[in-house]
Structure 1
Amino acid sequence: MKLTMPRFESAPVLVVGDVMLDRYWHGGTSRISPEAPVPVVKVDQIEDRPGGAANVALNIAALGAPALLVGVTGQDEAAESLANSLEAAGVKAALQRIEHQPTILKLRVMSRHQQLLRIDFEEAFDTDTQALQQSVEALLDQVKVLVISDYGKGALKNHQALIQAAVARRIPVLADPKGKDFSIYRGASLITPNLAEFEAIVGHCVDEADLVAKGAKLMSELELGALLVTRGEHGMTLLRPEQAPLHLPARAREVFDVTGAGDTVISTLAAAIAAAEDLPCAVGLANLAAGIVVGKLGTAAISAPELRRAIQREEGSERGVLSLEQLLQAIDDARAHNERIVFTNGCFDILHAGHVTYLEQARALGDRLIVAVNDDASVSRLKGPGRPINSVDRRMAVLAGLGAVDWVISFSESTPENLLAEVRPDVLVKGGDYGVEQVVGAEIVHAYGGAVKVLGLVENSSTTSIVEKIRSR
Structure 2
Amino acid sequence: MRIPEFSQAEVLVAGDVMLDRYWHGSTGRISPEAPVPVVRIGGREDRPGGAANVALGLSALGARARLLAPVGRDEAADVLDRLLDAAGVTRHWRRHEGMATTSKLRVLSQHQQMIRLDFEDPPEPGWPLTADDLAAALGDSGVAAVVLSDYAKGALAEPAALIAAAQARGVPVLVDPKRPDFEAYRGASVLTPNRGEFERVAGPCPDAETLVRRAQALLSAHDLGALVITRGEEGMTVVARGEDAIHVAAQARDVFDVTGAGDTVIAVLAGALAAGEDLGHAAALANLAAGVAVGKLGTATVSPTELHRAAAAWQPTVERGVTDPERLPTAVRNLQRQGERVVMTNGCFDLLHPGHVAYLEQARALGDRLVVAVNDDASVSRLKGESRPVVPLADRMAVLAGLASVDWVVPFSEDTPAALIEAIAPDILVKGGDYRVEQIAGHESVLSRGGEVRVLPFRAGYSTTGILKRLRGGSTAPDG
Q: TM-score range by the shorter chain?
A: 0.5 to 0.7
Matches within 5 A, 1:116-135: 116-126=114-124, 128=126, 132-135=130-133
Matches within 5 A, 1:360-379: none
Look up the SS of the partner of 2:88 in the other structure. Answer: coil
Task: Name the residue aligned to 1:309.
Answer: 309
Say yes or no: does 1:20 pair with 2:18. yes
Say yes or no: does 1:169 pair with 2:169. yes
Task: Name the residue aligned to 2:180.
Answer: 180
Which amino acid counterpart does residue 15 of structure 1 have in structure 2?
V
Deviations 1:413-451 (A, max 9, x none): xxxxxxxxxxxxxxxxxxxxxxxxxxxxxxxxxxxxxxx
Matches within 5 A, 1:251-400: 251-314=251-314, 390-391=354-355, 393-394=357-358
- The number of residues matched between the two structures is 328
Tell me: CA distance 1:69–1:37, structure 2 relative to 1, closer, same or farther (3 Å): same
Task: Name the residue aligned to 1:29.
Answer: 27
2:129–2:156 contact (8 Å) kept in structure 1: no
1:52, 1:182 → 2: CA distance? 20
Task: Name the residue aligned to 1:67.
Answer: 65
Look up the SS of the partner of 1:391 in the other structure. Answer: helix
2:67–2:89 contact (8 Å) kept in structure 1: yes
2:31, 2:115 → 1: CA distance? 15
Matches within 5 A, 1:2-21: 3-21=1-19
1:22–1:105 contact (8 Å) kept in structure 2: yes
Quote how far apart the aligned CAs of 1:97 are.
Answer: 1.6
Quote how far apart the aligned CAs of 1:5 are.
Answer: 1.0
Quote how far apart the aligned CAs of 1:135 are.
Answer: 3.1
Look up the SS of the partner of 1:14 in the other structure. Answer: strand
1:215, 1:305 → 2: CA distance? 34
1:50 pairs, out of 40, 48, 54, with 48
2:129–2:157 contact (8 Å) kept in structure 1: no
Tell me: CA distance 1:260–1:189, structure 2 relative to 1, closer, same or farther (3 Å): same
2:127, 2:259 → 1: CA distance? 29
Tell me: CA distance 1:151–1:130, structure 2 relative to 1, closer, same or farther (3 Å): closer
Tell me: CA distance 1:396–1:197, structure 2 relative to 1, closer, same or farther (3 Å): closer
Quote how far apart the aligned CAs of 1:13 are.
Answer: 0.3
Which amino acid counterpart does residue 18 of structure 2 have in structure 1?
M
Task: Name the residue aligned to 2:249.
Answer: 249
Q: Cα RMSD over matched residues?
A: 2.3
2:24–2:42 contact (8 Å) kept in structure 1: yes
Deviations 1:43-91 (A, max 9, x none): 1111000000000000000000000000011111111111110110111
Quote how far apart the aligned CAs of 1:232 are.
Answer: 0.9
Task: Name the residue aligned to 1:108.
Answer: 106
2:268, 2:125 → 1: CA distance? 28
1:130, 1:395 → 2: CA distance? 61
Quote how far apart the aligned CAs of 1:209 are.
Answer: 1.4
Task: Name the residue aligned to 2:200.
Answer: 200
Please say which of residues 247-256 and 297-306 is displaced more in the overlay: 247-256
Tell me: CA distance 1:45–1:188, structure 2 relative to 1, closer, same or farther (3 Å): same
Look up the SS of the partner of 1:188 in the other structure. Answer: coil
Tell me: CA distance 1:152–1:89, structure 2 relative to 1, closer, same or farther (3 Å): same
1:107, 1:10 → 2: CA distance? 35
2:213, 2:116 → 1: CA distance? 38
2:128–2:156 contact (8 Å) kept in structure 1: no
1:187, 1:97 → 2: CA distance? 28
- Structure 2: where are the runs of 5+ without partners? 317-352, 362-403, 406-475
TM-score normalised by the chain length of structure 2: 0.65
Please say which of residues 53-62 and 229-238 is displaced more in the overlay: 229-238
2:131, 2:34 → 1: CA distance? 49
- Structure 1: where are the runs of 5+ without partners? 317-388, 398-406, 409-470
2:215–2:239 contact (8 Å) kept in structure 1: yes
1:72–1:95 contact (8 Å) kept in structure 2: yes
Quote how far apart the aligned CAs of 1:7 are.
Answer: 1.1
1:69, 1:125 → 2: CA distance? 20
Please say which of residues 37-46 and 137-146 is displaced more in the overlay: 137-146
1:50, 1:259 → 2: CA distance? 12
Quote how far apart the aligned CAs of 1:213 are.
Answer: 1.1
Which amino acid counterpart does residue 73 of structure 1 have in structure 2?
V
Quote how far apart the aligned CAs of 1:242 are.
Answer: 2.2
Look up the SS of the partner of 2:18 in the other structure. Answer: strand
Deviations 1:282-337 (A, max 9, x none): 00000000000000001111111111111222279xxxxxxxxxxxxxxxxxxxxx
2:125, 2:102 → 1: CA distance? 13
Task: Give the percent of matched residue pairs that are identical in Structure 1 and Structure 2.
Answer: 53
Quote how far apart the aligned CAs of 1:128 are.
Answer: 3.3
1:11–1:66 contact (8 Å) kept in structure 2: yes
TM-score normalised by the chain length of structure 1: 0.66
